Each structure stands twice: as C-alpha cells, then as structure tokens.
Amino acid sequence: FMTVPGGSDPFDKNNLRTAGETSWNTVMTRSGENPETWRRYVSSSALLSSQQYTFTSEFYGYGVYKGSETLQALGSGTTYNGKNYAGIPLEKFNSADFQTITQAEAKEKALSSLYEKSSALEPLYKKMSNGDNAIGYRRASLSPVAQRILALAASDNYWRPEENSKLPLHLLARAGYLFPQLGVVLHTDQIPALKRAIFVQARHEVTPQIGIAAWYLRSVGGNSHRFLTANGTGNDVDVFDTTANVIGIGAKWQLGKNLALSVDYGQNRSSFGRYMNGATRWAHTAGTSAFTPQGRAYGGTPTFRVLRLDVGRADMDAAGSWNAFVDYKAFEHGSFFGGNGTEALPDRYLDGIRSFTVGAGYVPVENLLVETFYTFGAKGLHARDTLYGAENFKLGNYTRVQVTYRF
C-alpha cells in the first residue's frame, strides 16, 4: 500500500498490482535467486536468542506453505535486501506441508496477496518473557484491503466516532486492533460464604410462655476479601478480613396451645457490613446521561429484624396435622449471609429486602409434608446502583410449593 503513488487510489486493484510489480522487480534485481550471506544482531525473536548471527540464504525453489504452524519471523535485524525471513522449528517441519510452484505462479501470488485473502498472510504478535514482541505470520482471515481499511479506521487521524471514542468493533478485534474502553462495570454484590465461623447461643425461659435468646456469630480463618469500587477513571480498593461479626437477640411468646409470636433482631458490626450497607457516590450533571462514580460511602451498621406469628403445628408423625404462619422480615444488605435453599424464599428475596410472607403446611399422610408459601410487598431497603446512578426497586410476588417426604 505504501508503494502506491501518491494521489492515486490505494485500493484500486490495478494500482496495487503495479506497486507489487515494482517491489518484485526491486527484490529480484538486488538478489534474485542468488545465495546471500549477512551478519546481524537479532532481537525480538521467538526462534533465536538475542545475539549476533551470521546468516546464509540458499535458494531451493518457489513454494507455498500449506501447514498449520505459524511462520515465525527470525526477528528484528534479519530483513535483508528487501526480504523478510520467517521459519518453523525443525521439530515441527514437514516437507509434505510445502507445495512447489513456478516462478510465474510465485509472482502472481505475491501480486494478488496485496488484495486477495487466499494468498495473503497476516501478522501475529507474541509477548516474550523479556518484554519484547515477536512476530509471526499465518494465513490471513481478512483481505489486505480490508486490513488496510481497518487500520485507517483505527487511526486517530481518520476516524473519531461517538464524540471521539474508540469503539471495540468486532472486525477491528479480529484484525488485532484492540482499544481500551473506559467505562463502568456493574456486578452483583456477592456476600462471601462463611467457610469457618464461631457461633455461641444462650437461651432462657422467663416464664412457661415466654422464652428469650441471645447469640453471637463471627467469621474466622483469616480469609481476605478484596472489593473494587469505581472512582473516576480508577478504582478504590477495600480489603476485609472479617465479614461476619453478628450479634442477635430473639424472643418467643406462646400465646396459646397452637399460637405463638416470635421476634428476632440482629446487627453485623463488621466494617464489611457497613461497606455493603453503603452506597456509591455519583457526580451527575442535570439534564445529561453522564454519571461519574466517585467511590463508595460506608453505611450504618446493617441490621435484620423478623416478626412472625405461627398457628398450629404440622407433625410428620401425625396425619392430618397442619400449620400456618405470617411474617414480616427485613435484612439490610450486609446482614444476611445466605440460606440453605429449602425455606420459603431464595436469597434474592432476602438480602437487602423487606417483605411479607404467608404460608401453610399440611401432613396428608404420615411422613409426607406439603407446604405452600406466598411472598408479597418485596421491596429494596436501599437504592441499588445502575449505570445511571442509584435507583429504588421492587420485586414481584413470589409463590413456592414444596413437598417433603421422610424415609
């Protein structure tokens, strides 16, 4: 492309062939098919170590490589008399991978390689352990004309779409033109599982109808958890060694033989809990869609509270027994560490959510329990991040039916 005369169309087939003819004749005039010897210092090579070499080139004929190996350039400093040399490690060499052709056929392939994908090669780049970039060649996935168009499109001098942003278009990626695209990545807050923890509980019966309890849960084991929060064009980093430092109290009042009211309250007093219960800070210009994150503000100590009324008792040893309940629950983000998946609700409806649930259970025959649950009024306790600032949200009503068989 660079040898096409200025002012002429660099994508015109005839112009490309004329330029290729000039290059072919220049190389043939300099050395042609004659042996060559030269001395160079080689670097940036995947085949040779960086040092001084004496090279000897002998001509055996014209051919086309049909194998699957990457042709690896000998490295910086090995170009001589207009020729670029590339090779294959001896242990991967197979003479059957080479097809012999005539000089005329070789010249035609050289000329057509300027515009046809079938006869062209494309470069590959490999980062070496010493930091150098080695180059190799493989059969082109795009025609040289398309490659040239993409190269121009990727240049700051020719194409600046979308208010001068560089878009990672898939064709540019295929051709090896990759651009960093700065932006905000949204991800779901994942409360880490407690691999090891200490749990202590004390209970006391105040009266035959009233009982109270207190408990403490603390994660142990020294597991560190690292969180990144966008702040401008960078990230703030927070590291937590203790995720759970929870204290809880509860009480149960037996109102009658088959009627009970219970209440639970607790706090996660760890820094991790306050981090999760916090909010991202945003800079926003009114009337625009520009929201710039400015780190995260810690929130207050996250709490949870549950109020539940139970009627009856479903006993799998007693056919015909039943139970029903209604509850209100609220778990601030950072106070909930996950359930076992067998209760009325999945974690999605508990973490950072307040809701109401009504449920009932029935034992039609011994060892068989049928339960149904209906949750409504599920609403986030705090706003959650979006690409355009924080927003409040609600969840749809949730119904669950499950059957438990004991054997």
- Give pLDDT, residue 303: 97
pLDDT at 159 over 60: no
Query: Phi/psi of residue 152, each to 5°?
Result: -70, -40
Once rounded to an integer, what is the mean pLDDT over residues 130-148?
79
Token representation of residue 301: 């100590």
Strand 225-231 to strand 234-240: parallel, antiparallel, or no bridges (unpaired)? antiparallel
pLDDT at 176 over 60: yes
Q: What is the distance between the alpha carbons of residues 294 and 289, in angstroms, rounded to a whole number? A: 16
pLDDT at 188 over 90: no
pLDDT in tens, 189-206: 778 888 899 999 999 999
pLDDT in tens, 214-257: 999 999 987 789 998 888 888 999 999 999 999 999 999 999 99
pLDDT in tens, 3-22: 555 666 767 888 888 888 88
- Give pLDDT, residue 377: 94
pLDDT in tens, 319-362: 999 999 999 999 999 999 876 655 778 888 888 999 999 999 99
pLDDT in tens, 370-406: 999 999 999 999 888 777 777 888 999 999 999 999 9
24 three-state secondary structure? helix
Once rounded to an integer, what is the mean pLDDT over residues 118-125?
83
CB half-sphere exposure, 33, CA atoms < 13 A: 7
Instruction: Taking each helix axis as running N to C, give the angle between helix 13-30 and helix 103-112, from 0 to 180 degrees, rounded to the nearest 10.
Output: 130
Q: What is the distance between the alpha carbons of residues 268 and 246, in angstroms, rounded to a whole number? A: 4
Residue 124 burial (10 A CB sphere; 0-12, 13-18, 19+): middle
CB half-sphere exposure, 10, CA atoms < 13 A: 14
pLDDT at 183 over 60: yes
Give me the chain's average pLDDT, please.
Answer: 85
pLDDT at 293 over 70: yes
CB atoms within 10 A of CB 291: 18
pTM over 0.75: no
Alpha helices by DSSP H, 283-376: none
Once rounded to an integer, what is the mean pLDDT over residues 33-57?
86
**Domain layout of the chain by residue ranges:** 13-140, 197-405
Once rounded to an integer, what is the mean pLDDT over residues 280-286?
85
Give the pLDDT band (50/70/90) at residue 160.
low
